[in-house]
Amino acid sequence: MDLLAAHNDVVRERLTRFGGRELATTGDGFLCLFDAVEAAVRVGLAIVAAMPALDLRLRAGVHTGEVEQEGAMYVGWRSTSDRASSISPARAKSSYRGPRRTCLRVPGSTSSTADCMS
């Protein structure tokens, strides 16, 4: 199995485990939809934690925002992905990073347990 396929398998397994839904891929990136912020943050952390087994380092970012479904499309997710892309490149090492308000919405999370932007 090639590295990208192994990466995608890990991401998809974690998405299933935490109730996320894959909307699109962007090469080695995923745009996903969750019903709750906590699930999105937890899947990001789980994906980052799983990657050293593949000898990969990656970043995961979560943006919370409203979307509306119109047919098969989600209106608003384009701006969400733009914001997520501005969160993800903030770190060179494997990490999860998200807005502090998002991190703090996860029960038990503080700025010391999740790497949050201020």
Pure H helices in 19-59: 37-50
Residue pair 97/62 in contact by the 8 Å Cβ criterion? no
Which domains does the chain carry? Answer: 3-113 (3.30.70.1230)
Q: What is the band of 46 on the pLDDT scale with cuts at 50, 70, 90?
A: very high
Q: What is the pLDDT of residue 111?
A: 53
Q: At what angle do helices 3-18 and 37-50 cross, to 10 degrees?
A: 150
Q: Give pLDDT tens digits for 77-94.
A: 444 444 545 544 544 455
Q: Give pLDDT tens digits for 18-35.
A: 999 998 888 888 888 898
